[in-house]
Structure 1
Amino acid sequence: MSNCVICGERPSAKQKINCKCCSKAFHANCINVKDGHIPSYNSGEYIWLCDNCNSKVISNKNQQSPVADSVTMSEIRDTLRALLDKQNHFIEKLEKHSTEIEQLKSKDIEHGAGIRENRENIEKLELQMKSVLEENNSLRQKCNKIQQSSMNNCLVVTGVPLPKNENVFLTTQLKGSALGMRLTDSHVVNSYRFLGAGRKNSNLIICFTKQSYRDEFLKCRKIKRDFSTKDLDKSLSNLVSEPNVIYVNEYLTAYNKNLFLKAKEYKNDNNIKYLWIKNGSIYMRKLEGTRAVLITSENDFQNIQ
């Protein structure tokens, strides 16, 4: 391997360019050729002559030297042949890519049709899902209505102390007496405690034989607005150190109880004045004189005007 004519150092194969005429080696950097162009010169795509050979070619041209003309034309033919080969290779690649593009277009059309079909199927499924949800919501409300109807003779009492070894019916009678209503077996079909974890004063559930008895009991509680544990028999009132208010409310299904809590939150956030429960149904009214709206789901909130 020859040393570079200009710097005297030996260039590597990747750094070297040879003069097309004298074949002497040169560093690409020494003759101001960019690294990316080196392969083109070494493959014959580009032709480079050193200053000495280039001067000879120019001199021979000026002297009309047949030899010089012959060498130059040969180089041009070689260059043109290389260019034609590259052009043919490029055309082959272009034709191949054109075929691939057409195939991709065809696949894209197929995929587009598949996407449209899938979108249509999704829209159908969404409509079916909407219908199913509406039907499910309707069935849930019907079931809730039936369940609530079976509970309409019941009341839930909060705040009554829980004595040890309690006779629940006796506790119910004592509470009724404190409200001014004497309760007997003909009034109450069942009464029991709803025991919550860790709760000392668990809810007392009273199931009346008739709704009219339930309504009378509610009326007695509304009359006695300040009703608390201090109004109970001493066997109950002495179980608490400080008197607490006793509340009486309609017994709601789990669905209605949750809906009532959400209605309460909506009422507070939207300046709704009235919210109440009647016979297991929830009602809301924005202002005095406006229409009362039956609340069966959260969707009914938007009907309040």
Structure 2
Amino acid sequence: MEKLRKSETNTANKKLDVLLSEFRIYKETNEEKLSEILKELNGIKESQTFFEHKYEEMKAKMDENEKVVQEVLEENKKLRENVKKLTETTKETEQGLNDLEQYSRRECLEFKGLPQEKDESTDDLVIAVCKKSGVNIKKQDISISHRLQKVGNNRPTIIAKFLTRRVTNEIYDNRRKLHQENRKTKSVEAKLYINESLTATNRKLFVQCLEFKKENNFKYIWTRNGKTFLRKDDGEKVHRINNQKELDSMKRM
């Protein structure tokens, strides 16, 4: 029995020696590879750490840029609001100046269709046209009158300023009698008209309304105190046009 145990012990020791020998050989063979793998893993770890730092830096910059962008957007919003307010204020100011200029013309009327004569008296011509419309005035009723410079194909025009609003209104309200005479006259050059003296802004709007009248078969167009009025036909609604926006809304009707 003792010899058997010694034999088994010797066999086990030999196997152990073989395993130890094989381990030493494996270790020597793979130690260099393991070292390279460890170096590579360390490199990857270092690279990962580097990229993490770079990511944090980039994220911080992006957060900072986003903050700047938000500030710029807020500033732009305020600027747009200011521009809108300034635009509205400018429009209100322009409208106010236009209304003031129109008010200064409240005693002025324009007489269209009077051919220019040599050594003419524009006062006498105005008096003659008023007489045709059924209103008798005197030179004392006229503050000043003169020819307006002819522009393009515009008809010859005399502008007259009267001393009182009463006289101005009486002449303007009786202009319809001239319209009746114009219907009897075939010659365009012979037709006479009395119009309010409009500011450049109101005149431009009136011309646009006149085009709208023709395009949409409206029967009537006229002005009163610088404002333009349109009516489709007798008995229908009167449309007062104060600005381009209101005319545009009429076009969409």
Aligned to 2:52: 98
Q: Which residue of 1 aligns with 2:122?
A: 168
Q: Which residue of 1 aligns with 2:197?
A: 251
Q: CA deviation at 1:159?
A: 1.9
Aligned to 2:8: none
Letter of the 1:215 counterpart = N
What's the counterpart of residue 136 of structure 1? 90
For the residues of structure 2 that align with 1:96 and 1:267, how far apart are their CA atoms? 77
Q: CA deviation at 1:200?
A: 8.2
What letter corresponds to residue 77 of structure 2 in structure 1?
E
1:83-108: CA deviations, max 9, x gaps? 87776656555543433332221111
CA-CA distance at 1:195 after TM superposition: 0.3
Does the Cα contact within 8 Å between 1:162 and 1:201 map onto a contact in 2? no
User: Where does residue 188 of structure 1 map in the other structure?
Assistant: 142
C-alpha change, 1:270 and 1:89, in structure 2 (3 Å) is: farther
Identity %: 25
Residues 28-107 of structure 1 aligned to structure 2 (within 5 Å) = 92-107=46-61
Unaligned 5+ residue runs, structure 2? 1-27
Contact kept in structure 2, 1:226 and 1:245, CA below 8 Å: no
The one-letter code matched in structure 1 to 2:145 is: S
Q: Identify the residue that residue 243 of structure 2 maps to in structure 1.
A: 297
Deviations 1:195-243 (A, max 9, x none): 0346684321121222232233234431132546x99xxxxxxxxx984
Shift of 1:171: 2.6
SS at match of 1:225: helix
Counterpart Cα distance in 1 of 2:216 and 2:232? 9
SS of the counterpart of 2:158? strand
CA distance in 2, matches of 1:129, 1:192: 43
Q: What's the RMSD between the two structures over aligned residues? A: 3.8
Q: CA deviation at 1:149?
A: 1.5
In structure 2, what is the Cα distance between the partners aligned to 1:104 and 1:175? 85
Assess if the C-alpha contact under 8 Å between 2:133 and 2:176 holds in 1: no
Aligned to 2:164: 210
Q: 1:277 aligns with which of 223, 229, 237?
A: 223
Which residue pairs with 1:117 in the alignment? 71
Aligned partners of 2:111 and 2:126 also within 8 Å: no
RCO higher in structure (CA 8 A, sep ≥6)? 2
Partners of 1:287 and 1:179 in 2: CA distance = 24
Structure 2 CA distance, aligned partners of 1:203 and 1:294?
26
Q: Residues of 1 paired with 2:224 and 2:167: CA distance?
A: 15
TM-score (norm. length: structure 2): 0.68
Following superposition, the deviation at residue 251 of structure 1 comes to 1.0
Length, aligned pairs only: 223
| Distance across 2 between alignment mates of 1:242 and 1:302 | 31
Indicate the SS of the match to 2:110: strand
Q: Specify the code of the residue in structure 2 equivalent to 1:281.
A: K
CA change 1:88–1:253 in 2 (3 A) is same
Superposition TM-score, scaled by structure 1 size = 0.58
| Contact 1:221-1:227 within 8 A present in 2 as well | no
CA contact (8 A) 2:123 2:139 kept: no
Tell me, in whole angstroms, the C-alpha distance in 2 between the residues paired with 1:142 and 1:294: 18
Match of 1:224 in 2: 178
